[in-house]
Chains A and B, each alone.
Chain A
Amino acid sequence: MDLNMNVNPPHSMGTTIIGVTYNGGVVLGADSRTSTGMYVANRASDKITQLTDNVYVCRSGSAADSQIVSDYVRYFLHQHTIQLGQPATVKVAANLIRLLSYNNKNMLQTGLIVGGWDKYEGGKIYGIPLGGTLIEQPFAIGGSGSSYLYGFFDQAWKEGMTKDEAEQLVVKAVSLAIARDGASGGVVRTVIINSEGVTRNFYPGDKLPLWHEELEPQNSLLDMLNVPSPEPMNI
């Protein structure tokens, strides 16, 4: 840090990913857009990938890099689970991801958020940004869309939310990021993990709130033309 003050900020990564702990587990959320340059290669991608029954990871950055890292870690965790005789902990999964991210930092370009539930520590979220730093957090945001969410979370986040509050927060946040980040879009996917198991949810555009300068979607112009003219005012 002393020698090279001109630090290169990293490339923006086309995604918004979020992981939030709540009182009882975690909620992971992501958008569904994969872009190659300006073209949307996949508008319905699933960026929340399973590692084990109780641990999932949100992927951002290079699709290839994040997929291969997840695949290796899933493979290692599978063997670890067999050897251990019980479900792997979130901490172990996060550390395996960190090991690959750190040791291959020159070649990989992927930021990951690991979230899950285990019987020892309950719900946990670990952020693993570029470079391979491992950081345990009550909530984590990542991807290019996350730039628009720092202020939002500073204000809206609170400790000890319920499952529904946490999911609503995640959905609201991803949808706010989609509204402003060109590299994020599509639908909002969420995964809720707690002691009872895993629940996947899906929120298409019409289920999301409208933000500034966004209009109520119409089926067709024709429906708008058939609306009768407004009544004159009674003054």
Chain B
Amino acid sequence: MNFMASTQPENRLLGPQSDSQRTLYPYVTGTSVVALKYKDGILMAADMGGSYGSTLRYKSVERMKPIGKHSLLGASGEISDFQEILRYLDELILYDNMWDDGNSLGPKEVHNYLTRVMYNRRNKFNPLWNSLVLGGVKNGQKYLGMVNMIGVNFEDNHVATGFGNHLARPILRQEWHENLSFEDGVRLLEKCMRVLLYRDRSAVNKLQVDVFLKMAPNQIYSLAKLLWSLT
């Protein structure tokens, strides 16, 4: 069963010959993820599209998943790499639970773990081709961070990946404030997602929105109120 083990080849010492494991370019990709902190926690949204080059091939891809008891992970980029990251995190959470010590990994810890994984893979020239958004609440403390395929990571009150950085963040910079209510947060997020739908070619009108506080089940819906009249 060694054939199936997903590890880097041991022949790294052989130098340039050992090029066998390198993600050269992504195949099935997800576009922007947008997230913000509101009064009671975190709101995160992403569309459910999986693009294959310029074809909008898959339209029911869940790009956001809960991690452990306290966090939410959203990803853009190569979907197969995101699925692999979910497996790593599954194992991480499993081992955490097995300690059975009453403690559980919070968003800050998970974000740190992901940062190390992403940066180390980048150093080996074999990146996981994703930009990740990690948000959550533990003991009343809200946390929202981002890490991308080269290991750049930071924490902020609002984050986005891909096109979201160019289109959504300026809106968030203007309109975000401390103690946003849930309704205002949702409206702000929808405003961002609507702009992305207009201006991002790989966006799909089917959104997944997750709230991180009371583990509300995630909502999947399509945006209406799109303005096409050119007055």
Q: How far, in whole Å, are A95 and B162 apart by their CA atoms in the complex?
A: 29
Is A106 engaged at the interface, CB distance under 8 Å to the other chain?
A: yes
Q: How far, in whole Å, are A133 and B60 apart by their CA atoms in the complex?
A: 13
Tell me the nearest residue of chain A to B26, going by C-beta.
A7
A9 touches B52 (CB 8 A): yes
Q: How far, in whole Å, are A133 and B125 apart by their CA atoms in the complex?
A: 21
Q: How far, in whole Å, are A8 and B129 apart by their CA atoms in the complex?
A: 14
Among the listed B21, B80, B148, B165, which residue makes an inter-chain contact with A132, where contact means beta carbons less than 8 Å apart? B80
B79 touches A133 (CB 8 A): yes
8 A Cβ contacts from A111-144 to B: 127, 129-135, 137
In the complex, which range does the number of interface residues on chain A fall in?
20 to 34
Determine the chain B residues whose CB is within 8 A of the CB of A3 once the complex forms.
148-150
Q: How far, in whole Å, are A99 and B84 apart by their CA atoms in the complex?
A: 10
Q: How far, in whole Å, are A152 and B76 apart by their CA atoms in the complex?
A: 29
A131 touches B28 (CB 8 A): yes
CB distance from A205 to the nearest CB of B (A): 29
Q: List 27 A-B contacts (CB under 8 A).
A: A1-B30, A2-B131, A2-B148, A2-B161, A3-B149, A8-B53, A10-B27, A10-B52, A99-B4, A100-B3, A100-B4, A102-B80, A102-B84, A103-B5, A105-B23, A107-B20, A129-B28, A130-B27, A131-B78, A131-B79, A133-B79, A133-B80, A133-B83, A134-B80, A135-B50, A135-B61, A150-B55
Is A157 engaged at the interface, CB distance under 8 Å to the other chain?
A: no
A9 touches B31 (CB 8 A): no
Determine the chain A residues whose CB is within 8 A of the CB of B131 once the complex forms.
1-2
Determine the chain B residues whose CB is within 8 A of the CB of A72 once the complex forms.
3
Contact with B along A30-60 (1 / 0, CB 8 A): 0000000000000000000000000000000
B31 touches A1 (CB 8 A): yes
Tell me the nearest residue of chain A to B76, going by C-beta.
A1
Is A199 engaged at the interface, CB distance under 8 Å to the other chain?
A: no
Among the listed A1, A7, A106, which residue makes an inter-chain contact with B161, where contact means beta carbons less than 8 Å apart? A1
B4 touches A2 (CB 8 A): no
Is B88 engaged at the interface, CB distance under 8 Å to the other chain?
A: no
Q: How far, in whole Å, are A66 and B80 apart by their CA atoms in the complex?
A: 18
Is B54 engaged at the interface, CB distance under 8 Å to the other chain?
A: yes
CB distance from A181 to the nearest CB of B (A): 15
Is B77 engaged at the interface, CB distance under 8 Å to the other chain?
A: yes
CB distance from B91 to the nearest CB of A (A): 15
Determine the chain B residues whose CB is within 8 A of the CB of A86 once the complex forms.
none
Is B29 engaged at the interface, CB distance under 8 Å to the other chain?
A: yes
- Besides A76-B4, A131-B26, 20 more A-B contacts (Cβ < 8 Å) are A1-B26, A1-B131, A1-B161, A2-B131, A2-B149, A2-B161, A2-B165, A3-B149, A3-B150, A9-B54, A99-B6, A103-B4, A105-B23, A105-B80, A106-B21, A130-B27, A131-B79, A133-B80, A135-B58, A150-B55
